[in-house]
Structure 1
Amino acid sequence: MLQPAMMHELEVVVHNDYKNKVVKELHKKGITQIEFLTDSKISEINEKFELDLKRGVPSGRQVEISKNLLEIYRVIGILNRFETKKETFLEEMLGIEKIEKKKTDRLKFNEVITRAREALAIKDDVINTANTVEKKNAELSDTKKNFEEISKLSFVLGGFDMGVLGSGRYYTIFTAVFEGDETANNIESMRANGEISYVKRYEIERKKKNVTYAAVIVVSNENANSVIQKISGNARILKNHGKGTVAENIETLSERINTLEKEINDLNTALREIFNARYEELLICRELLEIEKERYEIFVNGGSTKKTKYFKAYVPAQLSDKMKEVIEDKSEGACVVKINKDIDDAPTLMQNPKTIKKFEFLTSIYGLPRYNHIDPSLVVVPVAALLIGLMIADACYGAILFGIAMVLRKKYGLYSEGLKNFMSFVAICAVVAVGVGIINGEYFGNMGYILYTSIAPEAENLPLQLFHPAGHDLKLYLQIAIGFGVIHIWSGTVLGLYDAMRRKERKEALYKYASWCLFGLGMIIIFYGAFGNVFGFPFVPFSNEISTYSALGLMIVGLVIALKHDPILSLIEAIDYFAFILSYARIMALVVAAGAVATAFNQLAGMAWGFAFGIFAVLIFLVGQTLHFLLGVLSAFVQALRLLYVEHFSRYYEGGGYEFKPFEEKRKYTYVED
């Protein structure tokens, strides 16, 4: 608690005859992280123990797995275009994939390969059909292009014999379709100077100032390439031989287009049938192969001798002896397992009570705690929920937010553990918001008061209402907000002191934390004493002079200790300390604003009540309250997390850890019941 799990490092040497059994069991357990050994690390081990350890090489099984995976990737890549499951906007925004896992047995290597090969029995049909579709699509594209070009000629050259086009013994004949007079003038110019022997131009279409022309052009063979090059940038050239007239060619091309489209449709129908019958099995086989692939990659990540395999793994300290027993059992004693308990650096595995663990994302968003450093999740989670609920500050908004959170949790929680946990946290924040709204008397702003006083005109407060944030309790809320900030920042320094003392970093504990603990404690007394007297706060327990002088003494002693270590940085930090405390005034501002803005929309709706049978009033109320709800909830989350990540974490928490990634079976489409 308040720190990540302690790790032990396992150094394992196992005989080749048992390596697969050992690794498969480790994969099944899923509680170790296999370490990648760099070449320099292998050299260091060889030098230390006088070994001939070498980098592991891919085995025949690994090659077999990779071969089947590549083929499955290829087939899936062809078939996945037939996936028809469309995510809703909300599902896409939340990153939800609704996948129903299929039960499968725990298969051996040969059984996985056999299943994959059976799934790949369709490979040749799929690939050949896809290649045929690709070729026919290319032909269809070319045919449509020719159809489009020749169709332009049909308006004026329907009876023109296409057979005359092309290069003869002395001349080349071609047609050109172009827009605008500039190209037409260039062609006439080339005819005038003899580059073109003959030209006949037709007007095909006129749209305002744009005119489309078709021209039949005869040019000597020696000038053909030059002429075509000059006009091809602005004209579509047709010089290939064709049989029959333009009209006959259009009919032939049209028939070919229809034939190609039908053939492509039939081929795609065949592929879709394969998709419906075999796609899910391909996804399952890909997953099973990837699981096997990860197992055999362990031997490449580690080292090897002629008869043994060597690898390192991190494991939670409380499970290291158990994992040693597992390795010894699966290898029938043909192994050596060394447990290194005194390690300085390791991956981070956060460990918190069950009620907090699901909300560890609040800490990891900022950065994972470093190994053997403090994990603030136990403090962060309740404070975050309190701050967010306090800033939403409306019972109706809280109830709506709770309903939304529970609906999304129920609908998508089965498919996303992360979303389930986040919505659980949102629901807790919503409950706090409901409570704060009740004691402040906020129900869509003053709408609750308006409705309640309509039946109880003499009432000054709503049932269970204790405070009036925008009225005579404004100073109380200011004191609560800034007072919370003073204590919150000081508690961060105390946590830093605890962490430094636990790690036996006494110098850091004294100068970085103990000094500011004294300074902060003095600030708390001053705030609830002399400062409270000056501003007329309602709760001032330390109002006597002894408390004030004692507080000033604590602040001076703390600052002197800090200045002794780093004068310039300590002065800057003292200024930041005051600035961070004042930053908590935003709590009071949002509490007051939450009710004021909602009340303003109610007043606007009230002013419009007499128009159009109250329709405008209802619209103003609905639109205004919806907008305020969305912005208010967003603002509450942003501001609360800012107070945690900037003001609070700056006192003691840096993050910078790297995640513990267990060597485990990653299953998205399947599950196994052991």
Structure 2
Amino acid sequence: MVLYPEKMSKVRIIGSNSKKHFIISSIHDAGFLQLEPVDPDIEKILDRGVSGDQYRKLSTLLQRFRSYEMVLPPIEVKSRMENVPLDILMEEAEKINISSDLESLKDSETDIQGELKEISMRLHVLDLIEGLNYDLSIYNNSFITSYVAIAKEEKILPEMIKQRIPEASIFPLPSGNYIVSIPENLESEFGKAATDQSFDLLHIPVMSGSPAEYRSMLMDKKNKAEEALRAVRNDLMDMSRTYYERVVQYREALEIEARKMEVSEKLPSTKNVFVMEGWVPARRVDKLKKVVESTSAGASLVSMVETSEEPPTLFNNPRRFRLFEFFVRFYSLPQSTEFDPTLIFGIIFPIFFGIMVGDWGYGLIILFGAMWLVKRIDHPRANSHIPKKLSAFALTVLGKNPLRVLGKTLIPGSILAIIVGLMFNNFFGFPVLPVTLFQTSTGFSGTHIGAFPPTPIVIFHVSLVIPKLLLLSGYIGLAMVTFGLVLGFINEARRGHRKGSVGKIGWILLAWGIAIVGLNLIHHDTSLNPAVSLSTPIAVGMIIAGLIVILITEKGRGAMEIPSIISHVLSYTRILGILLASVVLAQVVDLIFMKGVDKSPLLAVVGIIILILGQFFNLVIAVFEPGIQGARLLYVEFFSKFYNGNGKYFRPFRSVRKYTVENQDK
């Protein structure tokens, strides 16, 4: 069923040791078995495998190729390596031995980078002492050593240094810093003084000649070092063009084989057979049996395992609704035996979002913005008009995949916002269409502002004053809360929890009883006399029955949550509140704009500025507030009635291949 995750079955595989590697490879390539520890009662009568020579050799080879990949500059890989047997794979991988060449180039690169860093530091020192035309050798000899002292704050450094190091020779620099020369035996004391008095020190290295001559010599060395570095990196790129593709292919193939062998080495076994257990989707059990039996040539047995363990969760949703799985995972992963609310979320959330936006102008902008966002993430441009800091911040906070999901989620919601806006003729608060499908008396659809646009023709006049709209949103809340409780009843019944399922009936009775009493109060029908009205006494009876059932089945915890049932129903009135806030704000901005246009050119300019800024502000609200509140209504008021969550992810034994081809004989 779509409303439930995949049904899972636990299986046990017993196979011949002679076929172990082939069976494990076929299971890995099939990719639908999650490995689990073998039953302790079985494991204690078997031996635990130990790593053999082949596994150690494979691990060593894998580490070598990982190091190759780290050193070689990455280039585009245009092909995939075919699947080959393990012994041939290791034999071919052994032939690629470029360790010494890479090590030599990497050492050269490191040495040159160190030299450039040293040159950069010396140039920085020269910049600090710019303007002094002394021989640089005077700053360091066998008796003294020199530093540039840099104050962190407004401080009188000479006096501070003299107090601690009377022997110091201090020379002011045009930059406001100082050259301080001290006896070598006082370096440690000078360092402590710098720490205590909060000033920085930069050691002046041993140099000679005038600053201009020394700078010229450093620049020559820097140019030669940069040229040498380019040569080394060109050599590395040449090696990448020759080896990189094969390196990443062999690295991936070796990683996959190492993972298979790691599992193989750790499986409990006897001299002749091994045992493994795991979870598999129930619909895949027959396929698993065929894969194992064909690979082992009949030297295996696949059997079902009866267990009370909680199975892992694998979503089972239609393709178009899978993007909403992100929001369910964000809340909590469903358990394998309870309702998966993804489909419900994917239907209800866009409806709530569209109603709360309620303007086809905002809906169009959100729609085009969401489509642009998805396209830009899937096909990024080299040069973008968006500031890099802003895009980097967005990617850091959310990440590419959440941003993509957010964009795709806003598309159906914005389409519904367009539909609702067209029905009530709202375009940034203006009734621009010549025909209004539904005219309301709330002032937020079809309201005429100024002389533009012309008053539209109304097809249906629906007297939806705010109290009636509040009542309508209350009905939505009652329906959603009831739906959640019905799902909770089914969940509890499927698990055999009679008390829990009866408790859900108690909550339904309480919710409907309170709702009926509330409606009667609104209509001034409060009589408990059955001869006058049956609804009120029936509702009171439902409330009493519901309270009794809740207190019996859920005791103190249920009693504490009784007030929440009212707040959860009424919480759905926020749908109307957000809609009205958005529409009223748009109309206020529009009214200021139209009044300004009518008064004078100067006020018209002010009105245009207010129109642009106000509509932009309202658009931001229209994106975030309906999204946040729509998700909250589902997470808190709806999910809490049936959803436990805390499920475990289904993690099948398989590997994602990027550079190699899967075994086709599955």
TM-score, reference length from structure 1:
0.79
Residues 244 and 473 of structure 1: CA distance in aligned 2, closer, same or farther (over 3 Å): closer
Residues 306 and 177 of structure 1: CA distance in aligned 2, closer, same or farther (over 3 Å): same
- Please, which moves more after superposition, 284-293 or 549-558? 284-293
Residues 238 and 594 of structure 1: CA distance in aligned 2, closer, same or farther (over 3 Å): closer
1:96 corresponds in structure 2 to none
Which whole-Å CA distance do the structure 1 matches of 2:536 and 2:136 have between them?
108
Q: Is the 8 A contact 1:530 1:543 kept in 2?
A: no
1:332 corresponds in structure 2 to 297
What pairs with 1:471-510 in structure 2 (closer than 5 Å)? 472-510=464-502
Q: CA shift at 1:307, angstroms?
A: 3.1
Q: CA shift at 1:399, angstroms?
A: 2.4
1:71 aligns with 2:47: no
Which whole-Å CA distance do the structure 2 matches of 1:564 and 1:393 have between them?
44
Q: CA shift at 1:489, angstroms?
A: 0.7
Residues 460 and 311 of structure 1: CA distance in aligned 2, closer, same or farther (over 3 Å): same
Q: CA shift at 1:76, angstroms?
A: 3.4
Which whole-Å CA distance do the structure 1 matches of 2:231 and 2:286 have between them?
62
Selected match of 1:439 from 423, 434, 437: 423
1:206 corresponds in structure 2 to 174
SS of the aligned residue for 1:545 comes to coil
What pairs with 1:319-468 in structure 2 (closer than 5 Å)? 319-341=284-306, 343-410=308-375, 412=377, 423-446=407-430, 448=432, 449=446, 457-459=454-456, 461=458
Residues 481 and 534 of structure 1: CA distance in aligned 2, closer, same or farther (over 3 Å): farther
Q: Percentage identity across aligned positions?
A: 23
What pairs with 1:202-241 in structure 2 (closer than 5 Å)? 203=171, 205-207=173-175, 210=176, 212-213=178-179, 225-231=184-190
Q: Is the 8 A contact 1:9 1:339 kept in 2?
A: yes
Which whole-Å CA distance do the structure 1 matches of 2:83 and 2:524 have between them?
73
Q: Is the 8 A contact 2:136 2:211 kept in 1?
A: yes
1:13 corresponds in structure 2 to 14
1:538 corresponds in structure 2 to none
SS of the aligned residue for 2:173 comes to strand
Residues 304 and 442 of structure 1: CA distance in aligned 2, closer, same or farther (over 3 Å): same
Which whole-Å CA distance do the structure 1 matches of 2:582 and 2:146 have between them?
75
Which whole-Å CA distance do the structure 2 matches of 1:45 and 1:325 have between them?
24
1:294 aligns with 2:280: no
2:543 corresponds in structure 1 to 555
Q: Deviations over 1:37-70 (max 9, x none)?
A: 5xxx54x3245xxx2332x333444434433332
Q: Is the 8 A contact 1:446 1:595 kept in 2?
A: no
Which whole-Å CA distance do the structure 2 matches of 1:409 and 1:239 have between them?
55
Note the residue ranges of structure 1 that are not aligned, 5 or more in a row: 84-98, 192-200, 218-223, 536-541
1:53 aligns with 2:47: yes
Which whole-Å CA distance do the structure 1 matches of 2:241 and 2:532 have between them?
81
- Please, which moves more after superposition, 357-366 or 15-24? 357-366
Which whole-Å CA distance do the structure 2 matches of 1:253 and 1:543 have between them?
107
Which whole-Å CA distance do the structure 2 matches of 1:396 and 1:543 have between them?
54
Residues 101 and 182 of structure 1: CA distance in aligned 2, closer, same or farther (over 3 Å): same
What pairs with 1:182-193 in structure 2 (closer than 5 Å)? 182=159, 185=162, 189-190=166-167
Residues 268 and 479 of structure 1: CA distance in aligned 2, closer, same or farther (over 3 Å): same
Residues 673 and 625 of structure 1: CA distance in aligned 2, closer, same or farther (over 3 Å): farther
Q: Is the 8 A contact 1:486 1:523 kept in 2?
A: no
Q: CA shift at 1:638, angstroms?
A: 0.8
Q: Is the 8 A contact 1:76 1:282 kept in 2?
A: yes
Q: CA shift at 1:106, angstroms?
A: 3.4
Which whole-Å CA distance do the structure 1 matches of 2:619 and 2:277 have between them?
52
2:383 corresponds in structure 1 to none
2:436 corresponds in structure 1 to none
Q: CA shift at 1:634, angstroms?
A: 1.1
1:303 aligns with 2:303: no
Q: Is the 8 A contact 2:144 2:184 kept in 1?
A: no
Q: Deviations over 1:608-639 (max 9, x none)?
A: 44546966544443333233222212111111
1:518 aligns with 2:518: no
Q: CA shift at 1:214, angstroms?
A: 6.8
2:396 corresponds in structure 1 to none
2:103 corresponds in structure 1 to 127
- Please, which moves more after superposition, 334-343 or 480-489? 334-343
Q: CA shift at 1:382, angstroms?
A: 1.4
Q: Deviations over 1:147-179 (max 9, x none)?
A: 5557877965645767x9644xxxx36566657
Q: Deviations over 1:163-210 (max 9, x none)?
A: x9644xxxx36566657433774699449xxxxxxxxx6856335xx4
1:575 aligns with 2:563: yes
Q: CA shift at 1:455, angstroms?
A: 8.2
Q: Is the 8 A contact 1:58 1:299 kept in 2?
A: no
Residues 106 and 450 of structure 1: CA distance in aligned 2, closer, same or farther (over 3 Å): farther
1:109 corresponds in structure 2 to 86
Q: CA shift at 1:453, angstroms?
A: 9.5
1:658 aligns with 2:643: no
Residues 530 and 300 of structure 1: CA distance in aligned 2, closer, same or farther (over 3 Å): farther
Q: CA shift at 1:575, angstroms?
A: 0.8
Residues 112 and 30 of structure 1: CA distance in aligned 2, closer, same or farther (over 3 Å): same
Which whole-Å CA distance do the structure 2 matches of 1:247 and 1:417 have between them?
55
SS of the aligned residue for 1:371 comes to coil
Which whole-Å CA distance do the structure 1 matches of 2:69 and 2:141 have between them?
46
- Please, which moves more after superposition, 133-142 or 279-288? 279-288
What pairs with 1:588-627 in structure 2 (closer than 5 Å)? 588-609=576-597, 610-611=600-601, 617-627=607-617
Q: CA shift at 1:414, angstroms?
A: 8.7
Q: Deviations over 1:219-244 (max 9, x none)?
A: xxxxx54344444666766696x777
Q: CA shift at 1:466, angstroms?
A: 6.0
Which whole-Å CA distance do the structure 2 matches of 1:427 and 1:153 have between them?
62
Q: Is the 8 A contact 1:439 1:465 kept in 2?
A: no
1:4 corresponds in structure 2 to 5
Q: CA shift at 1:586, angstroms?
A: 0.3
Q: Deviations over 1:559-590 (max 9, x none)?
A: 11212234433332221111111111101101
State the one-letter code of the partner of 1:181.
P
Q: CA shift at 1:129, angstroms?
A: 1.7
Q: CA shift at 1:532, angstroms?
A: 4.5
Q: Is the 8 A contact 2:43 2:268 kept in 1?
A: no
Q: Is the 8 A contact 2:129 2:173 kept in 1?
A: no
Q: CA shift at 1:338, angstroms?
A: 1.8
Q: Deviations over 1:314-340 (max 9, x none)?
A: 111222133123212211111232212
Q: Deviations over 1:502-549 (max 9, x none)?
A: 222112212x2121122233344445x4144249xxxxxx99821222
Aligned residue pairs: how many? 613
Note the residue ranges of structure 2 that are not aligned, 5 or more in a row: 151-156, 195-200, 381-399, 433-445
What pairs with 1:525-536 in structure 2 (closer than 5 Å)? 525-527=516-518, 529-534=519-524
Residues 544 and 324 of structure 1: CA distance in aligned 2, closer, same or farther (over 3 Å): farther
Q: CA shift at 1:259, angstroms?
A: 2.5
Residues 69 and 543 of structure 1: CA distance in aligned 2, closer, same or farther (over 3 Å): farther
